[in-house]
Structure 1
Amino acid sequence: MRAAYWTCNVCLLGLIALCLAWELWLAPLRPGGSWLVLKVLPLLVPLFGILRGRMYTYKWMTMFVLLYFIEGVMRGWGDRGLSQQLALLEVVLSCGLYVSAILFVRRTRAAGTPQGV
């Protein structure tokens, strides 16, 4: 259960860092950065609940992170170069976040462990 907790934390923080770096410096849609960097803001909503191990946050975040998976697949399919590689990294991080959150919820529920890790 601890591995799922830490994997979820690392993937969420990695996804936040990736989205910021991608849209501000690495491969923005427009030179100098783009407004697409605002896609990071929804990732900040579940951040504290995930870091505190709140079961409810893990549950709704699994549906929420699918939007980032879809964006990564679409941009990985359509973009080229560095942007395509960053999109594939977004897919990997969102899949890791999704799977680890599901495992955390299932194992916590099965163990009867109280919320918080």
Structure 2
Amino acid sequence: MTEPSAQVPTSAVQRSRWLSFGTCLALLVLGLLWELSLARTGAGTLAIKVVPLVFALPGLWRMKLYTYRWLSLAVWLYAAEGAVRINSAPGREVLLAGAEIVLSVLLFTACAWHVRARLAAGRQAPAAAAAA
């Protein structure tokens, strides 16, 4: 019997992996640009908020299921920050906050899709092996 990591990923797993990785990277870049150049709120120390996204990237790249699970929970902190800032920010910060909310929801959706696809593929593999 093969291990789950040795199985060839399905197309749904691959698509959700790339969507998760790309969205996480986009959210990380948005957070850095927001705090360091586009709408600075101080000395740039709030850029530290993207550190969890930096830690998530290697796990997303290696398709670690644990990373997708914890990131799907942690991403709501970014959505909450966007919701707070969209109501209190002036000018173009409203657009940045809206982009943060959209990217957060998209990242959550991609992570949830990946976890579901991986678990479904894991259930199908033993059934296909037993039928053969």
Q: TM-score with structure 1 length normalisation?
A: 0.89
Displacement after TM superposition at 1:101 (Å):
0.3
Q: Does 1:75 align with 2:80?
A: no
**For 1:12, which of 1, 20, 24 is the aligned residue?**
24
CA deviations 1:70-110 (Å, max 9, x no partner) are 00111011112111110110101111100000000001110
Rounded to whole Å, the distance in 2 between the matches of 1:9 and 1:42 is: 13
Larger RCO of the pair (alpha carbons < 8 Å, separation 6+) = 1
- The equivalent of 1:27 in structure 2 is 39
1:100 and 2:107 equivalent? no
Letter in 1 for 2:117: R
Q: Distance in 1 between matches of 2:84 and 2:51?
A: 20
Q: 1:90 aligns with which of 84, 100, 111?
A: 100
Name the TM-score, length of structure 2 as normaliser: 0.80
Matched residues, number: 112
Instruction: From the two aligned structures, give the one with the greater helix fraction.
Output: 2
- Find the aligned partners of 2:44 and 2:90 in 1 and give their Cα distance: 18
Counterpart of 1:59 in structure 2 is: 69
Matches within 5 A, 1:101-116: 101-112=111-122
Q: CA deviation at 1:34?
A: 2.2
What is the percent sequence identity of the aligned residues?
37
Alignment correspondent of 2:15: 3
Query: Which of the pair has more CA radius of gyration?
Result: 2
- Give the letter aligned to residue 109 of structure 1: L
Indicate the RMSD between aligned Cα atoms, in angstroms. 1.5
